[in-house]
C-alpha cells in the first residue's frame, strides 16, 4: 500500500502524462488543417489512460510496441514532444528522421521499440523481444498494445499461442474501442467474449473498462506481478471509446455507424477530466494544476514552433539505413 503522499505523487505523474498526450493531440487537431503535417493521423483521444497506466506501471523495465495509433504510447513512454512533432511534420529532427510519420514512431533508447501501420504486425516481434529478455534474464517486460481489429488477424492468435507455450514475459494489451475503422466487433468476432477465450490459454487475463488511469495502473501492476510469479504472459483487456474518426482529427458521429449519445456517456468519464478531479480531491490545488498544465501546453507549442522551422531531411539521406545498395542506379 502506498501512503498518501505516494499516492498523490503517483497520481500527479499520471496526470502529467495524460495531460501531455491530450494537449499534444489537441495541438495536432488545431494544426492538422494547415496541411503541413502530411501524415495519416490516428488519434488517441479517449484512450490515454491505457497507455499512461500501463507504461507507468512498467516503468524503466518496460519495453513497448504498438500500432499506427501510436501517439499515446510514444508520449507516455518518452515524455518528450520535440522529436514527436518534428516527425509529424516530416522533419529531419523527427523521432525517426522524418521517415515514418505518425504511424511509425519509435524510440528504442527509451524502450519504445516500434509501431507499425500493418494491423497486428508488432505482436510477433513483441513475442520475440520477450524471448530475448527471458534468455538474457534482464528483468525487462514487453507490453504490446493492439486494437480489437488486430485480434481478427492470424498474427494475434499465433503470437498469443507462442508466448503462452513458451511462457514469455509479455503483457498483451488489447485496447477494444469496438471498431476496426467503421466495422463493429459484432461483425468481425465470431464470439461474445474475447477474455473468456484467452483464459483458455496459459495466460492470465485481466479486464476492465475503467477510464481511471490509476485503476489501469494498478491492474497492470497486478498483471506484472502475476507474470513474475507464474512465468506466464498476461493479457489486459481494456475498453475505451475513440472520440474521433478512425483516421483524421474530426468527429464523425454523423457518418451513422455509431451514436453521439454513447460518446457523451464516455465523455462524462473522460480520463483526463476524472484524473484532474481526483487530483483536486487528493489535495492538489487548482492553481498548482493549472501551472502544470501551462508548462505542458507551453512545451507542446514550443515543440511545434521548432518542428515547423526544422529542415526537411536532406535528399542525401534517401539511402541511409536502407541496407540496400544498387550501385548501377546511384
Partner 1 sequence: MTRTITYCQAINEALLEEMRLNDRVFVYGIDVGDHKKIYGSLNGMEEFGPDRCFSTPLCEDTLVGFGLGAAINGLVPVNIHLRMDFLLLAMNQLVNMVANYKYGSGGKLRVPLTIRAVVGRTWGQSYQHSKSLHSVFAHIPGLKVVMPSTPQDVKYLLKSAIRDEGPVLVIEHRLLYDFAGEVQSLPSIPLGSGRILRSGKDITVIATSWMNVEALKAAEILETAGVDVEIIDPRTIYPLDEELIIQSVTKTRKCIVADLDWLNCGFSAEVATLISEKCFGNLDSPVKRIGFAPTHCPAARSLEDIFYPNAADIIRAVEAKLDLKPMDISREDFYNHVNKFKGPF
Ligand X SMILES: Cc1ncc(C[n+]2csc(CCOP(=O)(O)OP(=O)(O)O)c2C)c(N)n1
Q: Does 164 bind Mg ion (CB under 5 A)?
A: no
- The correct pick among 119, 123, 203, 204 for binding ligand X (CB under 6 A) is 119
Q: Does 118 bind ligand X (CB under 6 A)?
A: yes
The pattern of x and - marking residues 47 through 66 that bind partner 1 according to CB under 8 A reads ----------------x---
Maximum distance among all Cα pairs of the chain, rounded to whole angstroms: 68
Distance CA 293, CA 197 (A): 42
Q: Does 202 bind its own copies (CB under 8 A)?
A: yes
Q: What are phi and psi of 176, to 5 degrees?
A: -95, 110
Residue 2 vs 182, nearer CB to partner 1: 182
Q: Does 91 bind ligand X (CB under 6 A)?
A: no
Beta-carbon contacts of 206 under 8 Å, excluding residues fewer than 6 positions away, are 219, 222, 223, 234, 235, 236, 237
Q: Does 154 bind partner 1 (CB under 8 A)?
A: yes
Residue 76 vs 127, nearer CB to partner 1: 127
DSSP state of 238: E
Residue 69, contacted partner among ligand X, its own copies, partner 1, none, CB below 5-8 A by kind? ligand X
Residues written for the chain: 330
Beta-carbon contacts of 270 under 8 Å, excluding residues fewer than 6 positions away, are 46, 211
257 C-beta neighbours (distance < 10 Å), count: 12
CB of 29 vs its own copies, minimal distance in Å: 34
CB of 153 vs ligand X, minimal distance in Å: 6
Burial of 286 (0-12, 13-18, 19+ CB in 10 A): exposed
For ligand X (CB under 6 A), the number of binding residues is 13
Q: Does 248 bind partner 1 (CB under 8 A)?
A: yes
Residue with cell 498518501: 4
- The correct pick among 100, 169, 233, 271 for binding partner 1 (CB under 8 A) is 100
Residue with cell 471498431: 179
C-alpha cell at 191: 464470439
Angle between helices 123-136 and 154-166 (to 10 degrees): 10
Task: List binders of partner 1 among 116-135 (CB under 8 A).
Answer: 116-121, 123-133, 135
Q: Which residue from 239, 238, 267, 237 is spatially nearest to 251, judged by alpha carbons?
A: 267
C-alpha cell at 152: 481478427
Task: List binders of ligand X among 181-220 (CB under 6 A).
Answer: 181
Q: Does 152 bind its own copies (CB under 8 A)?
A: yes
Residue 177, contacted partner among Mg ion, its own copies, partner 1, none, CB below 5-8 A by kind? Mg ion
Q: Which residues bind Mg ion (CB under 5 A)?
A: 147-149, 177, 179
Residue numbers at the binding site for ligand X (CB under 6 A): 69, 117-119, 147-150, 177, 179-181, 246
Q: Note the residues at the interface with its own copies (CB under 8 A).
A: 152-158, 160-166, 187-193, 196-197, 200-203
Amino acid at each position: 500500500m502506498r501512503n498518501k503522499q505516494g499516492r498523490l505523487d503517483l497520481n500527479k505523474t499520471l496526470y502529467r502524462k495524460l495531460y501531455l498526450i491530450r494537449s499534444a493531440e489537441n495541438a495536432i487537431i488545431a494544426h492538422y488543417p494547415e496541411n503541413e503535417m502530411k501524415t495519416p493521423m490516428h488519434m488517441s483521444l479517449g484512450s490515454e489512460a491505457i497507455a499512461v497506466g500501463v507504461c507507468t506501471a512498467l516503468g524503466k523495465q518496460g519495453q513497448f510496441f504498438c500500432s499506427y495509433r501510436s501517439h499515446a504510447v510514444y508520449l507516455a513512454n518518452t515524455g518528450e514532444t520535440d522529436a514527436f512533432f518534428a516527425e509529424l511534420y516530416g522533419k529531419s529532427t523527427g523521432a525517426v528522421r522524418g521517415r515514418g510519420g505518425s504511424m511509425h514512431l519509435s524510440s528504442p533508447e527509451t524502450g519504445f521499440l516500434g509501431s507499425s501501420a500493418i494491423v497486428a504486425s508488432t505482436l510477433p516481434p513483441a513475442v520475440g523481444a520477450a524471448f530475448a529478455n527471458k534468455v538474457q534474464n534482464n528483468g525487462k517486460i514487453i507490453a504490446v498494445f493492439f486494437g480489437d481489429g488486430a485480434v481478427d488477424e492470424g498474427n494475434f492468435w499465433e503470437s498469443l499461442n507462442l508466448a503462452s507455450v513458451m511462457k514469455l514475459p509479455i503483457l498483451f494489451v488489447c485496447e477494444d474501442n469496438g471498431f476496426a475503422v467503421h466495422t463493429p466487433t459484432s461483425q468481425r468476432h465470431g464470439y461474445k467474449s474475447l477474455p473468456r477465450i484467452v483464459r483458455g490459454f496459459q495466460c492470465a487475463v485481466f479486464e476492465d473498462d475503467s477510464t481511471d488511469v490509476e485503476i489501469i495502473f494498478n491492474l497492470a501492476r497486478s498483471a506484472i506481478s502475476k507474470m513474475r510469479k507464474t512465468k506466464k504472459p498476461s493479457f489486459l483487456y481494456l475498453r475505451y471509446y475513440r472520440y474521433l474518426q478512425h483516421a483524421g482529427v474530426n468527429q464523425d458521429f454523423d457518418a451513422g455507424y455509431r451514436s453521439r449519445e454513447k460518446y457523451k456517456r464516455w465523455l462524462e468519464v473522460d480520463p483526463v477530466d476524472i484524473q484532474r478531479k481526483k487530483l483536486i480531491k487528493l489535495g492538489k490545488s487548482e492553481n498548482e494544476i493549472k501551472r502544470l498544465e501551462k508548462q505542458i501546453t507551453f512545451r507542446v507549442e514550443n515543440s511545434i514552433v521548432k518542428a515547423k522551422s526544422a529542415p526537411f531531411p536532406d535528399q542525401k539521406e534517401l539511402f541511409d539505413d536502407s541496407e540496400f545498395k544498387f550501385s548501377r542506379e546511384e
